[in-house]
C-alpha cells in the first residue's frame, strides 16, 4: 500500500515538470521588459543592463530555467508590487480561505449529487429522474458569477436571511485564532459557538454557488454509472439469490458505480478551482482568487504567476489523491500498478 | 450514403421532424440558436438605442416601456447593450472553438495515424495543459500575453485543445487498421490521402459533437474572464462585463443591470448545451446519459 502511494507520487513528476515549464514560459511571455520595469522610468541604459544581469535575464533560456527552478525551490516566488510582500507568504495566508470555500462547495455537491444520481438511476422515468436530468442540463449552463449574484440578491436583499455578501465574517466578529485557517474548524476547536455560526452564515451562499455548478457533472455521472451497473449480470444474480434489495443496491451496485464517479472528480476539481476565482470576486472572499484578480487589475504579474503555479500544484496533488483513493476502492487498480 | 443523389427535400424534412419529435427540447434549442445567430448578425440594427451612448434614459431606472431592460448607472439602455453584445460573445466563442477544433483535430489525426514521436509529444503537451485547472490557466495565459480580446480567444482555444486532440486521436487510431483503410492503401493512395480522404471524414461526426458540447463552455469561459476584468474593456458591451458592472448595484436592489445580461448569457450556454446533447444522441446513441 505504502509502496503504491510512493509510486503514484513519483508518477506525478512528469506532470509537475510540465506545469513548471508552462509557468516559466508564461513568466517569460510577460508584456514589457521586466528589467526596464524594475529600473524605473528614470533608469538609464546602464541601470537597465545592471538590473537585467541581477535578474539573470541576460543569460540563455535553459540557464534562466535552472535559476527559475532554484528560486521556486527556495520559496522565492517573487514579490507582490502592490503589497511589497513575498508572493508565497501572501498566497499561504489566503489559501485556507479558498480551501475552506472549495471544500464546503465540494461536500455540499457530493451530498446532494450522489443520492440524486442513485435515486434517478433506480427509478428511470420517474419524476426524480426528470428532476435529475433538468438539474444536470441546467447546472452546467449556469455562469457561477451570475448565480452567486442572484443568490445574494434573493437571500440578502429580498429575504434578508443571509448576511451581507462581503468576506468571511461580519465586521462585528473577530476571526478565531489561527490553527488550521479554516474558520469553521478553528472556532469549533476554540469552543466559540458564536463565531462558528457567523462564519457558517457567510460561507453558505458562496458554497451553494460553487456546489450548484459542480453538482451537474457529479449527478450525471452517478446516474449513468449506476444505470450501467444495475443492468449488469452480477446484480441480477445477487437479486436472484434473494439478497435484500438495499444490500444489492449499496454493497454490490454502489461500490462499483463509484469508480467512474471518482474519475469525474478530477474534472470536478478543475471546475471548482476555476470557478472559485469567480465566486471569490462576487462574495469579496479574501482568498487566493481575489488576490490574483486584484494583482491582475493592477498589472502586478508575479502574484498571478504564483497563483497559477500554486493552483496547478494543488490540482496535480488532488489528482494523485484521487488515484490513490481509486486504488483503495478498486483492488484491480492496485494490482495493475 | 447518397453522395451521388441529392437528398430530396421531403426526406430532409422527414428526418428533421423525426429528430425534433423525439425530443421537443431540441426543437426549442434549435429555434433559440437561430435567434442568437440572427441577433449576432443584425443586432446593431435591431437595438433601439446606441449601446455606448450614455443618458439615453434616466440613470438606474428600472425596466419600463421605453427601456425594456432598464438603464445602467450611466443611463445606457441595457436592452440595446445586451443585443449588441451577442456578436462579440458568440464571436469570441466561435473563433476560439474553430481555432482549437482545427488545430486539435489535425494534430490528433496526425498523432493517431502516424504515432511515433509526434504522437508522444502531442500527448505530452495535451496532458500538461490538462494538469492545470483550465480556467486558472486561461487567466495566466491572458495575463502573460496581454489583456486583449484576441488573447481571450487564444487562451480559450488553448484550454480546449486537449479535448479535440483526444477525440480525433482516438477515432483515427481505432480505424487505422480497418478493412476499408487497408483497401484504400492497396489501391495505391498515399498516406496523407488515406488520412484526409478516408479517415478524417469519419472523425468529423464525433468532432462535431465535441464542438457543440464545447461551445457553451467556451462562452462561459470567455464571459468569466471578462467578468474578472480581462479582455473586453469598458465601455464595450459584453455579457460578462455587464454582469460585473451590475454586481455592485445588486446588493442595493438595482437587480436589472446584472440580471438581464446574466440571463441571456445563461440562455445562450443552455441552448448550446442542449444542441450538443441532441447532436450526440443523434450521432452516438451509446453515449447517451
Q: How far apart are CA A78 and CA A80, in angstroms?
A: 7
pLDDT of residue B265: 92
Cβ-nearest to B250 among A26, A153, A319: A153
Q: How far apart are CA B124 and CA A15, in angstroms?
A: 9
Cβ-nearest to A308 among B136, B145, B229: B136
- From the CA of B240, how many Å to the nearest CA of chain A? 9
- Asked whether the beta carbons of residue A22 and residue B258 sit closer than 8 angstroms, the reply is no
Residue B7 has pLDDT above 60, yes or no: no
- Asked whether the beta carbons of residue A296 and residue B230 sit closer than 8 angstroms, the reply is yes
pLDDT of residue A38: 64
Residue B6 has pLDDT above 60, yes or no: no
Please tell me chain B's helix, strand, coil percentages from 3-state DSSP, rounded to the nearest 5.
75, 0, 25
- Asked whether the beta carbons of residue A312 and residue B137 sit closer than 8 angstroms, the reply is yes
Residue B5 has pLDDT above 60, yes or no: no
- From the CA of B257, how many Å to the nearest CA of chain A? 11
Residue B156 has pLDDT above 90, yes or no: yes
- Asked whether the beta carbons of residue B258 and residue A146 sit closer than 8 angstroms, the reply is yes
Mean pLDDT of B206-219: 87
- Residue (of A65, A24, A17, A112) closest to A305 by Cα position: A24
Q: What is the mean pLDDT of chain B?
A: 84
- At B9, is the pLDDT very low, low, confident or very high (cuts 50, 70, 90)? low
**What would the 3-class secondary structure string for B171-238 be?**
HHHHHCCCHHHHHHHHCCCCHHHHHHHHHHHHHHHHHHHHHHHHHHHHHHHHHHHHHCCCCCCCCCCC
Cβ-nearest to B289 among A26, A224, A305: A224
Q: What percent of chain B has pLDDT over 70?
A: 93
- Asked whether the beta carbons of residue A140 and residue B258 sit closer than 8 angstroms, the reply is no
Domains and CATH numbers, chain B: 8-48+65-288 (1.10.3720.10)
pLDDT of residue B247: 84
- Per-residue pLDDT tens digits for B116-145: 899 999 998 998 998 899 999 999 898 888
List CB contacts (< 8 A) between B258 and chain A: 146, 149
- Asked whether the beta carbons of residue A275 and residue B135 sit closer than 8 angstroms, the reply is yes
- From the CA of B82, how many Å to the nearest CA of chain A? 15
Confirm whether the ipTM is greater than 0.90. no
* Peptide linkage before A182 cis (omega within 30 of 0): no
Whole-model pTM over 0.95: no
- Per-residue pLDDT tens digits for A170-203: 777 777 777 777 888 888 888 777 888 888 888 8
Cβ-nearest to B135 among A29, A149, A277: A277
- Asked whether the beta carbons of residue B240 and residue A143 sit closer than 8 angstroms, the reply is yes
- At B3, is the pLDDT very low, low, confident or very high (cuts 50, 70, 90)? very low
Query: CA distances (Å), B108 to each of A22, A82, B103, B115, B188, in order?
Result: 21, 43, 8, 10, 24
Residue B190 has pLDDT above 60, yes or no: yes
Domain at A94-336: CATH architecture: Orthogonal Bundle (1.10)
Mean pLDDT of A276-305: 87
- Per-residue pLDDT tens digits for A225-237: 888 888 888 888 8
* Mutation site for A-interface testing, chosen from B217, B228, B263, B288 by largest number of A Cβ within 10 Å: B228
Cβ-nearest to B224 among A15, A143, A272: A143
DSSP track, A58-104: TS-HHHHHHHHHHHHHTT---B-TTT-SBHHHHHHHHHHHHHHHHHH
- Asked whether the beta carbons of residue A150 and residue B262 sit closer than 8 angstroms, the reply is yes
pLDDT of residue B8: 62
List CB contacts (< 8 A) between B146 and chain A: 31
- Asked whether the beta carbons of residue B139 and residue A278 sit closer than 8 angstroms, the reply is no
Residue A30 has pLDDT above 50, yes or no: yes
Mean pLDDT of B244-272: 86
Q: What region does A56 belong to: left with phi over 0, alpha with psi -120 to 50, or beta? A: left
- Asked whether the beta carbons of residue A141 and residue B266 sit closer than 8 angstroms, the reply is yes
- From the CA of A158, how many Å to the nearest CA of chain B? 8
Residue B132 · residue A19 · CB < 8 Å: yes
pLDDT of residue A189: 81
- Asked whether the beta carbons of residue A19 and residue B223 sit closer than 8 angstroms, the reply is no
- Asked whether the beta carbons of residue A165 and residue B251 sit closer than 8 angstroms, the reply is yes
- From the CA of B87, how many Å to the nearest CA of chain A? 19
- Per-residue pLDDT tens digits for A31-53: 556 666 666 666 677 777 777 77
List CB contacts (< 8 A) between A140 and chain B: 216-217, 269, 273
Amino acid at each position: 500500500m505504502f509502496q503504491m502511494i510512493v509510486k503514484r507520487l513519483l508518477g506525478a513528476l512528469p506532470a509537475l515538470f510540465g506545469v513548471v515549464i508552462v509557468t516559466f514560459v508564461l513568466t517569460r511571455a510577460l508584456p514589457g521588459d521586466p528589467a526596464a520595469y524594475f529600473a524605473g522610468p528614470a533608469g538609464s541604459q546602464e541601470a537597465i543592463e545592471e538590473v537585467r544581469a541581477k535578474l539573470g535575464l541576460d543569460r540563455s533560456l535553459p540557464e534562466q530555467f535552472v535559476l527559475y527552478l532554484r528560486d521556486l525551490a527556495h520559496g522565492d516566488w517573487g514579490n507582490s508590487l502592490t503589497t511589497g510582500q513575498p508572493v508565497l507568504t501572501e498566497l499561504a495566508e489566503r489559501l485556507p480561505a479558498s480551501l475552506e470555500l472549495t471544500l464546503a462547495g465540494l461536500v455540499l455537491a457530493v451530498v446532494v449529487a450522489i443520492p440524486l444520481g442513485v435515486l434517478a438511476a433506480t427509478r428511470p422515468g420517474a419524476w426524480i429522474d426528470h428532476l435529475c436530468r433538468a438539474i444536470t442540463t441546467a447546472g452546467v449552463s449556469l455562469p457561477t458569477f451570475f448565480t452567486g449574484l442572484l443568490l445574494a440578491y434573493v437571500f440578502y436583499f429580498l429575504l434578508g436571511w443571509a448576511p451581507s455578501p462581503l468576506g468571511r465574517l461580519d465586521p462585528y466578529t473577530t476571526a478565531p485564532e489561527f490553527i488550521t485557517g479554516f474558520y469553521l474548524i478553528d472556532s469549533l476547536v476554540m469552543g466559540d459557538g458564536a463565531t462558528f455560526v457567523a462564519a457558517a452564515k457567510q460561507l453558505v451562499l458562496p458554497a451553494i454557488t460553487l456546489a450548484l455548478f459542480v453538482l451537474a457533472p457529479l449527478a450525471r455521472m452517478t446516474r449513468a454509472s449506476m444505470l450501467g451497473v444495475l443492468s449488469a449480470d452480477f446484480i441480477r444474480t445477487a437479486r436472484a439469490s434473494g439478497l435484500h434489495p438495499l444490500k444489492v443496491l449499496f454493497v454490490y451496485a454502489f461500490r462499483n458505480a463509484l469508480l467512474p464517479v471518482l474519475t469525474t472528480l478530477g474534472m470536478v476539481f478543475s471546475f471548482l478551482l476555476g470557478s472559485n476565482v469567480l465566486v471569490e470576486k462576487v462574495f469579496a472572499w479574501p482568498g487566493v482568487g481575489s488576490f490574483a484578480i486584484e494583482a491582475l487589475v493592477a498589472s502586478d504579474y508575479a502574484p498571478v504567476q504564483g497563483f497559477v503555479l500554486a493552483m496547478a500544484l494543488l490540482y496535480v496533488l488532488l489528482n494523485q489523491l484521487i488515484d490513490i483513493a481509486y486504488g483503495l476502492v478498486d483492488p484491480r487498480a492496485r494490482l495493475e500498478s | 450514403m447518397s453522395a451521388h443523389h441529392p437528398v430530396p427535400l421531403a426526406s430532409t424534412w422527414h428526418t428533421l421532424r423525426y429528430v425534433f419529435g423525439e425530443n421537443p427540447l431540441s426543437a426549442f434549442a434549435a429555434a433559440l440558436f437561430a435567434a442568437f445567430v440572427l441577433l449576432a448578425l443584425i443586432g446593431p440594427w435591431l437595438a433601439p438605442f446606441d449601446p455606448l451612448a450614455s443618458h439615453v434614459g434616466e440613470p438606474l431606472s428600472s425596466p419600463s416601456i421605453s427601456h425594456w431592460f432598464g438603464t445602467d448607472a450611466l443611463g445606457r439602455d441595457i436592452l440595446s447593450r445586451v443585443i449588441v453584445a451577442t456578436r462579440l460573445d458568440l464571436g469570441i466563442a466561435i473563433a476560439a472553438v474553430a481555432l482549437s477544433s482545427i488545430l486539435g483535430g489535425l494534430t490528433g489525426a496526425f498523432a493517431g495515424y502516424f504515432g511515433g514521436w509526434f504522437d508522444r509529444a502531442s500527448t505530452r503537451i495535451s496532458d500538461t495543459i490538462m494538469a492545470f485547472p483550465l480556467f486558472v490557466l486561461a487567466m495566466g495565459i491572458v495575463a502573460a500575453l496581454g489583456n486583449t480580446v484576441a488573447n481571450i480567444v487564444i487562451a480559450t482555444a488553448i484550454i480546449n485543445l486537449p479535448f479535440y486532440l483526444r477525440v480525433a486521436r482516438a477515432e483515427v487510431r481505432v480505424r487505422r487498421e480497418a478493412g476499408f483503410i487497408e483497401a484504400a492503401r492497396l489501391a495505391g493512395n498515399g498516406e496523407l490521402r488515406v488520412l484526409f480522404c478516408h479517415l478524417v471524414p469519419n472523425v468529423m461526426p464525433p468532432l462535431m459533437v465535441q464542438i457543440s458540447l464545447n461551445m457553451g463552455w467556451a462562452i462561459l469561459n470567455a464571459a468569466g474572464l471578462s467578468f474578472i476584468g480581462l479582455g473586453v474593456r469598458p465601455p464595450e458591451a459584453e455579457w460578462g462585463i455587464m454582469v460585473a458592472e451590475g454586481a455592485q448595484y445588486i446588493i442595493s436592489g438595482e437587480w436589472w443591470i446584472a440580471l438581464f445580461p446574466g440571463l441571456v448569457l445563461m440562455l445562450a450556454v443552455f441552448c448550446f448545451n442542449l444542441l450538443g446533447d441532441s447532436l450526440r444522441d443523434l450521432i452516438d446513441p451509446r453515449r447517451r446519459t
